[in-house]
Structure 1
């Protein structure tokens, strides 16, 4: 990489390559025995069926090089493999990524059950310093779109209880990919009480998690810490959170084919103590469709509280206050 060529701090070329390819990351993690689901590359629907047969008909099918849950399908026994394959191979985000020649590749893996969390870590020369665990909520059904995050994960919940195990697993992941300096956003499922790797990005997280970390920890946030690392300003040490912060994404009305007639309750949501921001993506005249990836959510609410639990409750109350009035599309019966 250009930075590596001139001696600047960074992830390292090989680590950056591995973190851009979910299949390559799986293989690197397996060499280090980082716990993760059973997996295989899928080049056709028959590969999906072969893994499903070994795991009770359940699996996860995903592209190896996409983000925001694009193309990810959770499959149960009886689900149509051909339909899931069509959804996955059609997934793309041409307006949201750099245009370069990348061959589409697909991954099918064992589907693990358990709470999902993410870890945000600032790494200096292969050593993890600041580390946060984020608890998350996921849309039920075949498309695991994230519905909310709480920072830090409450101590009385599975994410908080597994913090030490997650810190150890993150350190092993850093070693597995040879990551040097920068920020990692790793997603884990706590299956059988143990962290199992879902995927990892060598970049700042999305879904406003950097905002949540800034609000919860105060002082230097993820972005400022990353810039300090890349400037050669040494490790960023661990520190405790000062309060809780949470985001909840507004539920898209379950009425595919309808059109938004009105949006109400935004002022009420903004007036709740602790609410920091209310953003609505659906506008009057917007058509309603199914939510299959993160770009299709209806908006979000950010809130803080003296504890993570209080922040989460406030965000949920604020999200529930926002309502969408719907109408049938023009020319159809109302």
Structure 2
């Protein structure tokens, strides 16, 4: 992202430690005690702005997007309304705003105790989805089929610690939601002066039921959903209801038999390398597009290639596995773009639910003319992954 943005913009980085690998892409940097403190960052940005005008503010880290909005607000720049970003971060507020606007979504009830969750589930009807109201990456999300499973699952959901800066003035930090069925997708979109343009569609691969671990994604430059009128209508209505007018968003839907049902809207680029997959698939540069939107400029969304791309994440089989060597052996297919080991020898890792997200030991990204070829490349790379335990 920094490499992309630096092609056309000068970047000043706010960080909690001295930059290292980032330095070649930066025009300058400021080390702050806490980049989750929006007021402190805004004060530092105002001093910087007085010396060198700042044109836009951008963050793609979920735990810091709310604090970042205070910086944009202080400088009078796009996406400078912390209340809007908090409305996206707090899924209970998201649900309320979308419900008032008539945007199709699952029914949802905020709860604070297991007894309240049981009562809400009884009204909604099983199965239901239990989730924290302000996290990302499907952390703490679990599907439960009955009261006994809900009691057990509530401990899993409530055990997920909230990150710094996520504080709810509410005794109801969890949601019990209607379970809707279908294919789960994500839409990365650019919003410029209220106009919402889908850029990448991510077709999600979910594993480890009843948990909702995202184990992979596919992105097709020619995905028909990019021009689907119903999806685009719901997407635009959702952004209008939430008051999001400028920036990049990552919205998740369930494609049900009755049409798309909105799961959540995030005020940032998608995670899990989805922007990277989109760039590989289309040639559209998410860094430049997001930076343009942050500066109030119309982004360049003209595709220059058409491919199918994908990512797959790998895990160990058993809880508390101590890793020895982890490596990809042999020649990988030409369609493989990256094959990366992220866990080091000696690390103790687990599959979900104990190892949700952080249990990943490696990943592969691929680019091919068709989904079938992309899937074959993923399978070949998985066969080449060698894991030794200690």
Alignment correspondent of 1:107: 175
Partners of 1:50 and 1:239 in 2: CA distance: 49
Structure 1 residues 78 and 46 mapped into 2: Cα distance closer, same or farther (>3 Å)? closer
Point out which structure has higher relative CO (alpha carbons under 8 A, 6+ apart). 1
Contact 1:261–1:324 (CA under 8 A) maintained in structure 2: yes
Alignment correspondent of 1:295: 358
* Aligned 1:1-334 pairs, distance under 5 A: 1-10=70-79, 12-77=81-146, 79-92=148-161, 94=163, 98-99=164-165, 101-103=167-169, 105-152=173-220, 155=223, 160=225, 163-218=228-283, 220-237=284-301, 239=303, 242-250=306-314, 252-264=315-327, 266-268=328-330, 271-292=332-353, 293-326=356-389
Alignment correspondent of 2:37: none
Contact 2:201–2:226 (CA under 8 A) maintained in structure 1: no
Task: List per-residue Cα deviations over 1:230-259 (Å, max 9, x = no partner).
Answer: 223225446485212110111x23222443
Partners of 2:257 and 2:304 in 1: CA distance: 27
Partners of 1:216 and 1:23 in 2: CA distance: 34
Question: Taking structure 1 as the reference length, what is the TM-score of the superposition?
Answer: 0.86
Partners of 1:62 and 1:162 in 2: CA distance: 31
Structure 1 residues 267 and 131 mapped into 2: Cα distance closer, same or farther (>3 Å)? same
Contact 1:291–1:297 (CA under 8 A) maintained in structure 2: no
Structure 1's unaligned 5+ residue stretches are 328-334
Alignment correspondent of 2:28: none
Structure 1 residues 253 and 298 mapped into 2: Cα distance closer, same or farther (>3 Å)? same
Contact 1:11–1:181 (CA under 8 A) maintained in structure 2: no
When the two structures are aligned, how many residues end up with a matched partner? 317
Structure 2's unaligned 5+ residue stretches are 1-69
Task: List per-residue Cα deviations over 1:33-77 (Å, max 9, x = no partner).
Answer: 111111100111122212322344211111111122221111113
Task: List per-residue Cα deviations over 1:63-109 (Å, max 9, x = no partner).
Answer: 11112222111111364333222211110254xxx446445711110
User: How big is the alpha-carbon RMSD for the aligned residues of Structure 1 and Structure 2?
Assistant: 2.5
Partners of 1:240 and 1:48 in 2: CA distance: 49
Contact 1:35–1:196 (CA under 8 A) maintained in structure 2: yes
Question: Taking structure 2 as the reference length, what is the TM-score of the superposition?
Answer: 0.74
Contact 1:11–1:179 (CA under 8 A) maintained in structure 2: no
